Structure 1
Amino acid sequence: MTNNQNSVLATRAALLCGAAALVASAPAMAQDSQTRIETDAVAAEQADRAIIVTGTRQADRSAADTVAPVDIVSTAELNNQADSDIGNVLRVSVPSFNVGTQPISDAATLVRPANLRGLSPDNTLVLVNGKRQHRAAVIAFLGGGISDGSQGPDISVIPSIAIKQLEVLRDGASSQYGSDAIAGVLNFILKDSPDGGTVSAQWGETYEGDGDKYTIAANVGIPVTAAGFLNLSAEYGESDATVRSVQRDDAAALIAAGNTAVADPAQIWGQPNVNDDMKFFANFGLELSPAIELYAFGNYAERNVDGGFFFRNPTNRGGVYAGPFVDPATGAPLAEEDGGVASVLVGDLSIDTAGDCPAGIPLTQGGLIPDPTILAQVSADANCFSFVELFPGGFTPRFGGDIEDYSAAVGIRGQLFNALDFDLSYRHGRNKSSFSIRNTVNASLGPNTPTEFNPGGYSQTENVVNLDLGYNLALGEGSVYIAAGAEYRDEEFGITAGDPASFELGPLAQPSAAYPTGQGFSTSSNGFPGFATNSAGTSKEDNKAAYIDIEADLIDALTLQGAVRYEDTKSFGDTVTWKLGGLFKLSDAWRLRGTYSTGFHVPTAGQANVINVTTQFSNGELQDEGTFPLFSPAGLIASDYIADTVANGGLGLDRPTLGPEKADSFTLGVAGDMGDFSVTLDYFNIKLKDRISRSSTIDFPAALCYLANREGVANNCTDTFTPAPAELLTQLDGAGVIDRNDFTGFEDLVAFTFFNNDFDTRTQGLDFVANARLYPIEGGTTRATLAINYTETEVTDVGETISATRVRQLEESLPKWKGFLNITHEQGRLRGLLRANYFGSYYEAHLEDSTLPIDASAELTFDAELGYEVIDGLELAVGAQNMFDNYPTLNPYSGIVGAKYGERSPFGFNGGSYYLRARFQW
C-alpha cells in the first residue's frame, strides 16, 4: 500500500473507532462501576446451554433436544481467529465447511463459493436472525467442479463481531425453510445486548512478508427506552495480495532469448487484494407490550477486489499477437510447408487501402523474438500496427471489481390471546457487482484501445414476506406445537452493459483485402469481455409457499417432528417437500435421533438467464468460453446441435432441460452427556437428482457450421476447416436464420456452455463432535473440542453433457476427511488457544485439465493464540495461523502457468502467518 493509501486508511480507521467510542460512551458511563467483560469461558458456558431457533419452531428448544444435529459456534470462537473473513473462520470451526482461495476464477474471486457437506454453495440456506439472506449477484463460472455455476449468498459481508452465535443445522430442511436447504442451514444470530461493547484492532502478515492484513471492528449496545435495544456493529479492513508463483516456462524462454520486457513472474498466483472492505450491521428490538415486539435489522457492505489473470504471451496469444505463417525475409504470407515461419500479427490501419503492411512480423530464435528489421518497419509506418509496440513483453490482465451489499428487514412478533404465536416480517436485500479489468486491450481497436475497461456487472435483488404462526396444544402430560405459515419471495437478476470499448468490434476486426473475414484481431476487452447492450436487462422469478410444521413431546422420552411444504414457482412449476424426525431419550444421558426429508433447489433467475464470456485455459492455450441461457438464440442452437440425429454434426443426445433439483436426505445419530463430557455421532445420506450445473463445453464454430448446413446456407465448413464465428454469424444473419445482433460480443468464442440438469449424486458421511471441560490447574478452565467430518460423494448417474473430469472433481476435489482439535484455557487474566486442523487428501485437475492431475496429500496444520488482559477490559493477543508454515503439495506442472501450488487447497497456499490484536470490552 502506498503512503497516501495508508494515510487515507488510517483516517478512516480513526473515524470508525472514534464514532464507536462516542456512541458507546453514554451507555458505558451510565453503567455501574462493575466492569462487564465477557470472557471466553463465559461464552463457552453459554453456548453449552444455549436455546436454538434453527430447525425448530419452538421457543425453548436446546441444541441437545433437537431431532436433527445443530452445532453452535460462539461469538468467542468466531472472534478469536487469525482471520476476520467469516468464510475462513468457518473453515476451521465447522468441519464439513470448505472454502478456497480462488486466485484466478473470474467473478468467483470476488465472492468465493463455499461448500457445506460436499455440496454446491446454493444447496446451503443462509439465514440472518432466522430470515433468508439474499444471494450474491456473482455466479461462480469457474468453481472447481463442485461449485461451477452456483449462485449462493455472500456470507463475507457479515462481520464476525456482529454475531452472537452461529447455528449450523446439519440436515435437509426444505420443508421448513424452502428452496436451497439441502446440505443444511447456517443461521447467523446477531448480537442483541442493549449495553456494553467491544472495540478491536488486528494486524498480521504471512511468514513470507506479504499479504499484510488489518481489521478494525466495533460493536456497541444502546438501550432504546427501558424496553428495547439498538445493537450496532462495524468492521473496516484491507488485505494485500500474496505471490506464490514461479516463472512460467514460456516467459523464462522469452527472457533467455533477450526479451527484457517480460515480467518476473509473468503471472501472479496468490490471494487477491481486498481494498476498502467495509461492513456494517444493525439489530433493533422494542417491546410494544409484554407480549408484542417490533424488530428490525439490516446491513451495508462494500469492498473492492483486484486479482490476477493469465499471462498473454507476446508471440502466440491468439487474436492479439499470433499471426499467420510468413516469409521470414518480407513478412508476406507464406505457407509453413513452403518455408513460412510463425509471426506476430500486424494490423493495417489504412482499411480502404489495405495490403501496405506485412501480414506478420517473423519470429526468430525459435519463434521467440520478432524480427527487429521488420518490427522497425512496422513501427515507422503510421498505417501499420502490432501489439508488440504497446506491450513488447506481453501482458497479464488484472481483474476485479466492486461489491456492494445491503439489506433491511422489519417485523412484528409475539403472542395473541395468550396462546397464538405469530411473526410477520418483510426483508429486502440487494447485492451488486461491478467488474473492472485493466492492463489489457480490445485488440480490434488497435493503437486506439484503452487499457482499462468497465465490462459491466450483475445485480441480485430479493424481497421476502413471511407469516409464521404457532400454537402449543397440551395433551395430557405432553404437548404438541403446531406451526404453520406462508411465504412470498421474488428475485430479480440484472446484467449491466459495459462501456462500449469493452465489447466493441473495432476496425481491425472488420474484413479487409488481406483478411477477407477480418484482420484477425479479437474483439472486446481481452480476458473478460464486456456485456454488450443486447445482453443487458433484468430477469425475474418468484415463488409462493405454505407450510405446516408439527413438533410433539407426547412423553418425556420422545420428541417427534413432521413438516410439509408446498411451493409454487413462476417458471419451474410447483413441488411438495416433507420431513419426519424423531428423538428418543435412551436414558438421562443418551439420545437417539434421526430424520428423513425431501428437498429441492430451484434454478435462480441468474442461472436461467445469465450471459457471460470468460477466458479459460484449455488444451494448453487460452480460449474464450461463453455461457448462454438454454432458451436464448445461442442456447437453442446448442439444444438442436446436441439433440439432432442427422449426419451433419448432430450428436444424437437427449435435448437438455433446466428445472429444479430434488433431494432425499436421511440422518441417524446418537448424542450423550457424561458430566463435563459430551459427544455426538451422526450419519447423513443425501441423494440429489437432476443437479443444476453448467454443461461441459460445446464447440461454438462447429455448432454454427451445423446450423448453416441444416439451413442450406452457403459456407466454407469442411471436415478439416471451420470458418471463424464472425464469418459464420454474418452468413447466417444474411440468410435470415439468426439476428446478428443477438451474438454481439461473441465473435471470438471457441466454446460455450449452458445451465441444465444433467447428473445425479449421492453424498454420505459422518459427523463426530466431542466436547470436554477440564480443570487441570486450580482456578483455571480448559475446554477441548474434537470435531471430525467424513464426506463422500458419488456421481450415480452421469449425464450426457458432463465430462469425466467433472465427475472426478465432484467426487474427489474436496477432502473426504476433515477435522480439528481445539483446546482453550483460561487462567485469571491469561487465555490461550491451540488448534490442530486436519485436511485429508484430495484431487485437483490443474487448469481444469484431466491430463494435469494433482493428487494432493493430507496436511496437518496448527494455530495458536495467547491473550492477556493487561487492565480491566483491555486484552492484548498474539497468534499464529498455520504456525509451522505448511504448504499444500507442490504443483508438478508449475511451469505451465506459474502456479507453485495447486489452487484448490482446502487450507489455502499462503503458508504460515502471524497477527497481533488489541481488544477492549466494557
Structure 2
Amino acid sequence: MKAFTLSPIAATLMAASFLPGAYAQENTPGSPDSAEQEAEQILILGSRRPGRSVVQSNVPVDLIDEETLGAGGFNDISRQLQNVVPSFNFYQPSLVDGTEHIKPASLRGLAPDQTLVLLNGRRFHSSALLNLNGSTGRGSVSVDLNAIPSAAIKRIEILRDGAAAQYGSDAIAGVINIITKDAAEGGMVSVSGGSYFTELDGVPELLGIQVDDQGNIIPNENGSNRVTGVYGDDIHRNDGENINLAANFGLAIGDDGFVNFTGEIANANRTNRGGYDDGDTYPRNADGTFDERELSVDRNRFNFGAPDSESYTLLANAGYYLDNNVQLYSTLSFQDKESISGAFFREAADEGFFIQNIYPDGFTPQIRAEIQDWSVLTGIKGSTENWDYNASVVTGSNEVDYTTFNTANPTFLQQTPTSFYGGQLANQQTTVNFDASRFLDIDTLFSPLSFAIGAEYRLDEFEISAGDEAAYTNIQATGDNGEPVFDENGNPVYQSDRLFAQGALYFSDAAEVDEDRHSYAFYVDLDADITQRWNVTLAGRYEDYSDFGSTSNGKIATRYTFSDSFSVRSSVSTGFRAPSLQQQFYTSVSTNFINGEALEIGTISATSPAAMALGGSQLEAEESTNVSVGFTWTVIDNLTITADAYRIDIDDRIVLSETLGNDADEAAVVQQVFSENNIEGVGAVRFFINGVNSRTEGVDVVANYSIDDVASGILNLSVGANYNETDVSGVVASAGPSDLFAPETLFARRERARLENAAPGLKQMPQQTGRAKIYR
C-alpha cells in the first residue's frame, strides 16, 4: 500500500482552518492600542511600501534587535543568528582548506549563495572564496557575515521567502538585511572572553603503546600499519581560548548629522576535536618491526576543529540632513583577518616524500589565510511633493592571500622550501541603485496604492593571482648521464611521485584569472489594500547579464486579516541565481585524500577544452519557484504564534561535478583528455555544471511570549522550530559533446547525498532573553 504523506503547506493550511478567527476582538493593525508596539517594528524588507510593519507583512520576516543577538554569549553575527533563528544554519567544517577561514551560512537548507545579504538595505558583496572541499555548501560562494562587527548592529531583518523578483540574484531562500547603529551620542565598551571545556564522548585517551614480551610494539588487529594503544577514559580538552574587545560610540555633526563608529578586536586559539593517531610514524626496521620511537612520538597531531584567528574590524555609519528633507548617508566597513588551519598529517614513514631529514617525525602543513574585506556605501535619499527617492553606490571587495608553511614540495628532495606563498583570490562588486516610490489614490481600493520603481547596475570582478612557482614546480629525474628520464610511453619521470607543495593552497600561472561582467535591472512593486482586511503585493523584475543573458521574474504576496489576532498570508514567486564568476572561471590544484590515498585534484573552468570534453558547458542561471503559506495568531496578550510552510523548486541548480578520474573505469578516459590538453601532474578533475533540479519543503513555527516590567525590562521567551527536507528531483547534467560520461557519472551518489543532507531535518530553538525583543 502506498504511504500517504502530508506536505508542509497542506499541513499548515489544515492547522489554520481550525484556529479562531472572526469571533476575536477586532482592532485594525493601526489602532491606537497597537501604535506604540508597531512603532518599534517598522521594516525595510518585504515591501517597498513606506511604514510597513512586521504585523502587516505578507511574508515571514524576523526582526531581531541587538539585545537578542547578544543574549547567547557569542560575538560574531553568524553564531548569534544560529542561536535565535530556526531556519538559519551556520556550518563550522574542518579540514576543508579555505572554507575553514570564511565559513558558510544558509537559510532554509539551501546553498549559502542562495541567500542575499544587504547592509543597510543595499547589496553586500560576496567573498572571493569558493567552497570546494567536502563541506556543506560545496561549490558555493558565500558572504562573510562576520566581516561586519556585531557591536555595530542595531537590528537584523530576515525575510524568509523567495525575493529575487524584488531584490535580484541570490534571493531564492530569502534576504538578510543588517541595519547598523545610527546614534549621534552615547556608546559602549565591552570585553569578553572564554574557552571550551569539551569531553570527546566515545573517544578514549591514549595512555601508551602495547608491547610484547620482547619489547616489540604490537600491530593493531585492524591494520598492520597501526600500533595497538593502551586507552583510558574519554578525552577531556580545554582549548579555543578567545578574547573580544569591542567599542561603539556616536558623534553629532552639527545639529543635522551624525557619525557612529564601531571597532572590534577578536583573537581565538584553535580547537581540536580529533582523536589520537595510531598510525605508524617512522619507516619500519629491517626485520619489519616498528621503530621504537613510536613509543614516545606525539600522537595528538590530527587537527580537526576551528582555526587560530585574529581580526581587526571597523565600521562607520554616517548621515547628514540637508534642507528640503534630503539626507546624505554613508557606511564604511573594513576587516583585516588572519586565520591558520591545519591539513592532514604526513608520516615520516611515507617513503614517497624523501624528506625525513627535514621532518624526522612527520609534519602537518599549516595554511595561513590573510583576508582583507572592505565596503563603501554612499547615497542620497529624500522626498519631493509626490515621490520618495533613494540613490546609492556601493563598492565592496574581498581578498584572500594564502601561504602554506611547515610543508615541503617533495620533487625538490632535500632542497625543498618549507613555506610557499599560494597566491591571491580577489572579488570586487560595484552596485548602483535608484529607487522611487509614491502613493496613488485609486477609488476602488481601500487605501492608496503604493507604487515603486527602480533600476540597478552591477559590475562583478574576479581575479586569481599566482603564487610561488616553487609550490607547483615538478623537477624531472635525471639518469647517471645527467639526461632527463622518460618512461616507456615517453612521459617524463619526476624526482618524486608526490608533486606540488604538500597540503598547500596555491595557484599556478595557468590558473590566473581576470574576469568581469556587468548587469542591469529594472523593477516595479505594487502594494494595495483591496479591502480593509485584504492586502496584495505584486513585484516584477527584468535583469540582463553580459555573460548568460536576461531573465524576468515576478511575485505575488497576500494577507487576509480575519481579526486583530489572526491573519493568513501566502506568496508565490519565481526567482533566479546567476552563476558566480568563481564558479565559471576558478582554476586550481589541491591535494585530496580519497580512500586513504593522496590525489592531486584539478578544478577547472566549465568552458575549458578539457571540461567541455568531459561534459562541461557554459553555465546558465538557476531558476526557482517559491510557494509559501502561513498564519500569525495572537493567542493571548503578549503570546504570538507564527507558522509558515514553504516549497522551493530549483531548476538547473549549479553544482560541482563528481571528481572524474579517481575511479579505475574513468582513469583512462580522463588521462586521455589530460594528454590532449597538456594537463600534467593532476590525477583527477572536477568542474561546475547546471547539474540537477531540486525541491526543498519545510515549515517554520515560532512562538513568542513577552513579560513586561521584569527587572526594569522585558523578558522574552521564545520557542522555534524548523523542519526542512531537500530532494534531488532530477539529474539534468549533459554528458557533453563527446558523450564520454552519463549524467549519473557527473553527479552521482556522493554529491547527491551532500546536497540532500546539507541542513538538519529538524532544528528546535528554545530561548530565554532578558531586556530583549524579537518580532516575527
TM-score (structure 1 length as normaliser): 0.70
Q: Which residue of 2 aligns with 1:279?
A: 313
Give the letter for the 1:784 counterpart.
Answer: L
- Kindly indicate which of the two structures has a greater share of residues assigned to helix: 1
Q: Which residue of 2 aligns with 1:415?
A: 383
Q: Give the CA deviation at 1:821.
A: 1.3
Q: Secondary structure at the match of 2:429?
A: strand
Aligned match of 1:97 in 70, 88, 105? Answer: 88
Q: Which residue of 1 aligns with 2:71?
A: 80
Instruction: Provide the rounded CA distance (Å) in 2 between the counterparts of 1:413 and 1:535.
Output: 43
Output one character per residue of 1:779-800: Cα deviation in whole Å (capped at 9) or x when no partner: 6743211111111111111352
Instruction: Provide the rounded CA distance (Å) in 2 between the counterparts of 1:87 and 1:454.
Output: 29
Give the letter for the 1:273 counterpart.
Answer: D
Tell me if structure 1 keeps the 8 A contact 2:68–2:769.
no
Q: Give the CA deviation at 1:96.
A: 1.1
Q: Are positions 1:235 and 2:264 aligned together? A: yes
Output one character per residue of 1:387-444: Cα deviation in whole Å (capped at 9) or x when no partner: 122222222111121010001011111112x211111110100000001111111111
Q: Are positions 1:210 and 2:143 aligned together? A: no
Q: Which residue of 1 aligns with 2:747?
A: 802
Q: Alpha carbons of 1:509 and 1:236: their partners in 2 closer, same or farther (altered >3 Å)?
A: farther
Instruction: Provide the rounded CA distance (Å) in 2 between the counterparts of 1:803 and 1:545.
Output: 36
Tell me if structure 1 keeps the 8 A contact 2:367–2:505.
no
Alignment RMSD (CA, Å): 2.4
Give the letter for the 1:399 counterpart.
Answer: I
Q: Which residue of 2 aligns with 1:113?
A: 104
Q: Secondary structure at the match of 1:685?
A: strand
Q: Give the CA deviation at 1:707.
A: 7.8
Instruction: Provide the rounded CA distance (Å) in 1 between the counterparts of 2:527 and 2:447.
Output: 11
Q: Alpha carbons of 1:173 and 1:709: their partners in 2 closer, same or farther (altered >3 Å)?
A: closer
Q: Alpha carbons of 1:49 and 1:633: their partners in 2 closer, same or farther (altered >3 Å)?
A: same
Give the letter for the 1:577 counterpart.
Answer: N
Q: Secondary structure at the match of 1:201?
A: strand
Tell me if structure 2 keeps the 8 A contact 1:262–1:394.
no
Q: Are positions 1:578 and 2:554 aligned together? A: yes
Instruction: Provide the rounded CA distance (Å) in 2 between the counterparts of 1:758 and 1:580.
Output: 29
Tell me if structure 2 keeps the 8 A contact 1:106–1:614.
no
Q: Percent identity?
A: 31
Q: Which residue of 2 aligns with 1:687?
A: 649
Instruction: Provide the rounded CA distance (Å) in 2 between the counterparts of 1:802 and 1:48.
Output: 50
Give the letter for the 2:469 counterpart.
Answer: P
Q: Secondary structure at the match of 2:46?
A: coil
Aligned match of 1:305 in 303, 321, 339? Answer: 339
User: Where do residues 390-409 of structure 1 align in structure 2 (5 Å cutoff)?
Assistant: 390-409=358-377
Tell me if structure 1 keeps the 8 A contact 2:137–2:758.
no
Q: Alpha carbons of 1:690 and 1:709: their partners in 2 closer, same or farther (altered >3 Å)?
A: closer
Tell me if structure 1 keeps the 8 A contact 2:190–2:246.
yes
Q: Secondary structure at the match of 1:807?
A: helix
Q: Are positions 1:247 and 2:276 aligned together? A: yes
Aligned match of 1:671 in 606, 629, 632? Answer: 632
Q: Secondary structure at the match of 2:509?
A: coil
Q: Which residue of 2 aligns with 1:496?
A: 465
Tell me if structure 2 keeps the 8 A contact 1:444–1:509.
no
Q: Alpha carbons of 1:529 and 1:434: their partners in 2 closer, same or farther (altered >3 Å)?
A: closer
Q: Which residue of 2 aligns with 1:434?
A: 401
Output one character per residue of 1:508-567: Cα deviation in whole Å (capped at 9) or x when no partner: 599845966333343322122521122213111211110111111232211110011001
Misfit runs of 4+, over 6 Å: 45-48, 252-255, 700-704, 707-710, 776-780
Q: Secondary structure at the match of 2:470?
A: helix
Q: Which residue of 1 aligns with 2:768?
A: 823
Aligned match of 2:248 in 201, 211, 219? Answer: 219
Q: Alpha carbons of 1:190 and 1:513: their partners in 2 closer, same or farther (altered >3 Å)?
A: closer
Q: Which residue of 2 aligns with 1:265?
A: 300
Q: Give the CA deviation at 1:263.
A: 3.4
Q: Give the CA deviation at 1:90.
A: 1.1
Aligned match of 2:507 in 531, 536, 552? Answer: 531
Output one character per residue of 1:660-683: Cα deviation in whole Å (capped at 9) or x when no partner: 111000110100223211111101
Instruction: Provide the rounded CA distance (Å) in 1 between the counterparts of 2:244 and 2:656.
Output: 37
Q: Alpha carbons of 1:509 and 1:394: their partners in 2 closer, same or farther (altered >3 Å)?
A: farther
Q: Are positions 1:612 and 2:588 aligned together? A: yes
Instruction: Provide the rounded CA distance (Å) in 2 between the counterparts of 1:552 and 1:628.
Output: 49
Tell me if structure 2 keeps the 8 A contact 1:169–1:185.
yes
Q: Which residue of 1 aligns with 2:188?
A: 198
Instruction: Provide the rounded CA distance (Å) in 1 between the counterparts of 2:693 and 2:406.
Output: 42
Q: Secondary structure at the match of 2:238?
A: coil
Instruction: Provide the rounded CA distance (Å) in 2 between the counterparts of 1:154 and 1:200.
Output: 23
Q: Which runs of 5+ in 1 are unaligned?
A: 1-44, 323-344, 346-385, 640-654, 711-724, 733-737, 834-922
User: Where do residues 134-533 of structure 1 align in structure 2 (5 Å cutoff)?
Assistant: 134-144=125-135, 146-207=136-197, 208-251=237-280, 257-260=291-294, 262-275=297-310, 277-316=311-350, 321-322=351-352, 386-416=354-384, 418-476=385-443, 477-508=446-477, 512-513=484-485, 517-528=493-504, 530-533=506-509
Tell me if structure 2 keeps the 8 A contact 1:134–1:462.
yes
Q: Give the CA deviation at 1:606.
A: 1.1
Output one character per residue of 1:82-120: Cα deviation in whole Å (capped at 9) or x when no partner: 221211111111111112222211110111011210000
Q: Secondary structure at the match of 1:478?
A: coil
Give the letter for the 2:506 counterpart.
Answer: G
Instruction: Provide the rounded CA distance (Å) in 2 between the counterparts of 1:820 and 1:596.
Output: 28
Q: Which residue of 1 aligns with 2:22?
A: none
Q: Give the CA deviation at 1:248.
A: 2.1
Instruction: Provide the rounded CA distance (Å) in 1 between the counterparts of 2:442 and 2:478.
Output: 79
User: Where do residues 837-876 of structure 1 align in structure 2 (5 Å cutoff)?
Assistant: none
Give the letter for the 2:175 counterpart.
Answer: V
Q: Which residue of 2 aligns with 1:561?
A: 537
Tell me if structure 2 keeps the 8 A contact 1:773–1:783.
yes
Aligned match of 1:658 in 619, 625, 638? Answer: 619
Q: Which residue of 1 aligns with 2:687?
A: 754
Q: Alpha carbons of 1:678 and 1:534: their partners in 2 closer, same or farther (altered >3 Å)?
A: same
Give the letter for the 2:313 counterpart.
Answer: K
Tell me if structure 1 keeps the 8 A contact 2:720–2:765.
yes
Q: Give the CA deviation at 1:604.
A: 0.8
Q: Alpha carbons of 1:677 and 1:513: their partners in 2 closer, same or farther (altered >3 Å)?
A: closer
Q: Which residue of 2 aligns with 1:342?
A: none
User: Where do residues 539-550 of structure 1 align in structure 2 (5 Å cutoff)?
Assistant: 539-550=515-526
Instruction: Provide the rounded CA distance (Å) in 2 between the counterparts of 1:780 and 1:600.
Output: 43
Q: Alpha carbons of 1:190 and 1:445: their partners in 2 closer, same or farther (altered >3 Å)?
A: same
Q: Alpha carbons of 1:444 and 1:595: their partners in 2 closer, same or farther (altered >3 Å)?
A: same
Instruction: Provide the rounded CA distance (Å) in 2 between the counterparts of 1:131 and 1:229.
Output: 20
Tell me if structure 2 keeps the 8 A contact 1:216–1:236.
yes
Q: Which residue of 1 aligns with 2:719?
A: 786
Q: Give the CA deviation at 1:621.
A: 1.8
Tell me if structure 1 keeps the 8 A contact 2:506–2:590.
no
Output one character per residue of 1:144-190: Cα deviation in whole Å (capped at 9) or x when no partner: 2x411101211110111111100000000001000000000000011
Q: Choose 291-300 or 390-399, whichever is displaced more.
A: 390-399
Instruction: Provide the rounded CA distance (Å) in 2 between the counterparts of 1:236 and 1:820.
Output: 29
Q: Which residue of 2 aligns with 1:362?
A: none
Q: Give the CA deviation at 1:227.
A: 1.1
Output one character per residue of 1:783-824: Cα deviation in whole Å (capped at 9) or x when no partner: 211111111111111352112122222222421111211123
Aligned match of 2:604 in 594, 605, 628? Answer: 628
Tell me if structure 1 keeps the 8 A contact 2:631–2:644.
yes
Q: Secondary structure at the match of 1:630?
A: coil
Q: Which runs of 5+ in 2 are unaligned?
A: 1-35, 198-236, 285-289, 733-742
Q: Give the CA deviation at 1:226.
A: 0.9
Q: Secondary structure at the match of 1:659?
A: coil
